[in-house]
Structure 1
Amino acid sequence: MSTADSIRPGRLSGKVAFITGAGAGIGAATAARFIEEGAEVAAVDLNPPAPTDHLLPLQADMRDQASLDAAVEATIEHYGRIDILFANAGVLLPETQAEDLDEATWNTVIDIDLSGVWRTAKAVFPALKQNPNGSSVILASSTAGIRGGANSSAYTAAKTALVGLAKVWATELGAFGGRVNTTHPTAVGTDLVLNDDNLRRYRPDLEHPTPEDVIEPFKRGKLLDTPWIDPIDVANAVLFLASDEARYITGTNLVIDAGSTTKWG
């Protein structure tokens, strides 16, 4: 059994993190940032990354409780405990107005973005409650979890529900020294956002819009001069909430949005 007893310096020195959706984008950036700051990382994904120093790749499907339970068991066997959960896995699918939204899209988004987070909590929380040093849980919400937008019923429902769950779970874990918070990024420059289907929402006049084609419409939604933020911007915010620097922060929402919710709130 490998353990986290080999301490490296950093803001997460000696900590063990369980990150879902760690195969790419925000999850991968956060895993790398955590490792830079001294953590050991269980990187969980439907398509997990290659193993590296201080990173344990694990396959799991957010729709399958057994696979999440197995990933937690493998993490405990390898590292001995879990200190941090970043529930990051999610999907962003093309949606229409509510009356035209098909049930398959609704069910898929809710099953992964909301129920998948609940299944992750079911798998991880027993381990967190046994941690004598407390824990930190970060749920990946969105600016959609603060303000709604057209053609996003399922996504907004899921991300808004995570805000409520964070408050419930902060109460439930608080007695065990656990903290629970949410992050709310604006559009992030990943394949989840910068893909054909999503870009056509902003440039329906183009059959295959590129990121360059949507820079101006993306910028219009923000106070700061950027069309989208980078995965590292979210990773740094998650790092703060995971670290002891945020040791008395729980049940709160950290917005990383270049001012978009202020502009449109």
Structure 2
Amino acid sequence: MAGRMDGKVVFITGAARGQGRSHALRLAEEGADIIAVDICEAIPGVTAYEGATEEDLAETVRQVEALDRRIVAEQADVRDLARLKEVASTGVAELGGRLDGIVANAGIDIFNHWQDFTEEEFRTTIDINLVGVWHTVMAAAPTMLEAGNGGSIVLISSANGIKAGPFNVAYNASKFAVTGMAKSFAQEMGKDRIRVNFIHPGPVDTHMGQVLTAFEKLADDNPGIVSMLNTWLPDTFMQPREISNAVLYLLSDESSFTTGLSMAVDAGMSQY
């Protein structure tokens, strides 16, 4: 069934590539116009994979426009609330004055032994993965509230937001916190018909997914912990579209009575 997002506008962070680009394309396929945000630069401390670039964001624009949808794309750091508010306001104005969906997708991951994390690495992870999600909602949700037409917000947590993964203390902390924040937003925004749900992806075949190769080296002195990453389904890595399909459902009118939902799309990784 096509056209599930006809006439809707969605604000997406981390949209230059990976899951964020996939979400933008999947929603555009169903008729949505997109406000796309990405920092488009490397993050200090993130060494297992390279940062997104301006060219990556331009490619997202090209692919959305190839679907005959409109897109406003801007560089912005989710740690900068003022900048996010500016982009959200500009994008909404350019796309007709409405905002129907928010996808707080931007995030980073740094693997290390707990004792080897630096303060900068820990703070950077929390600032992007947790505070950045809060900034995203605070920057864009007021537009929904003012319009009085309801809306849908999807926060991207992680399977590590249900069951902590090893060598990932900062990431685990951030994703568990996103879960609590999402439930709080869902409780309070319900009276205004704004739904808030959250997704827990397992391993996804993106640049960020490459950090799992670091896991193997870290596990050399603690091999028993590897069993924590078992799944119930045979394929370890999912394509980003698997997560995007869940995002589409939660943003569409098909989920009009779904809020506060914790949705794991992780091949069973978090279930034991």
Q: TM-score scaled by structure 1?
A: 0.86
Q: Give the partner amino acid of 1:236.
A: N
Q: Does 1:104 align with 2:113?
A: no
Partner of 1:88: 105
Distance in 2 separating the partners of 1:100 and 1:61: 26
Distance in 2 separating the partners of 1:224 and 1:153: 26
Paired residues for 1:21-170 under 5 Å: 21-47=14-40, 49-50=57-58, 51-52=61-62, 53=65, 54-79=70-95, 80-97=97-114, 99-170=115-186
Shift of 1:112: 0.2
Secondary structure at the counterpart of residue 157 of structure 1: helix
Q: Give the partner amino acid of 1:226.
A: D
Shift of 1:129: 0.6
Answer yes or no: is the 8 Å Cα contact 2:113–2:218 preserved in 1.
no
Shift of 1:218: 9.4
Shift of 1:131: 2.8
Distance in 1 separating the partners of 2:266 and 2:227: 12
Identity %: 38
Secondary structure at the counterpart of residue 209 of structure 2: coil
Name the structure with the higher helix share: 2
Partner of 1:258: 267
Distance in 1 separating the partners of 2:181 and 2:135: 12
Answer yes or no: is the 8 Å Cα contact 1:219–1:228 preserved in 2.
no
- Pairing partner for 1:189 from 205, 209, 225: 205
Answer yes or no: is the 8 Å Cα contact 1:30–1:235 preserved in 2.
yes
Secondary structure at the counterpart of residue 208 of structure 2: coil
Partner of 1:201: 215
Answer yes or no: is the 8 Å Cα contact 2:157–2:200 preserved in 1.
yes
Q: CA RMSD in A?
A: 1.9
Distance in 1 separating the partners of 2:152 and 2:227: 32
* Unpaired segments ≥5 residues, structure 1: 1-8, 207-216
Q: TM-score scaled by structure 2?
A: 0.84
- Could you list the structure 1 runs, at least 4 aligned residues long, displaced by more than 4 angstroms after superposition: 203-206, 217-220
Shift of 1:203: 4.4
* Unpaired segments ≥5 residues, structure 2: 41-53, 221-225
Distance in 2 separating the partners of 1:205 and 1:238: 33
Answer yes or no: is the 8 Å Cα contact 1:75–1:81 preserved in 2.
no
Count of residues in correspondence between the two structures: 242
Partner of 1:225: 234
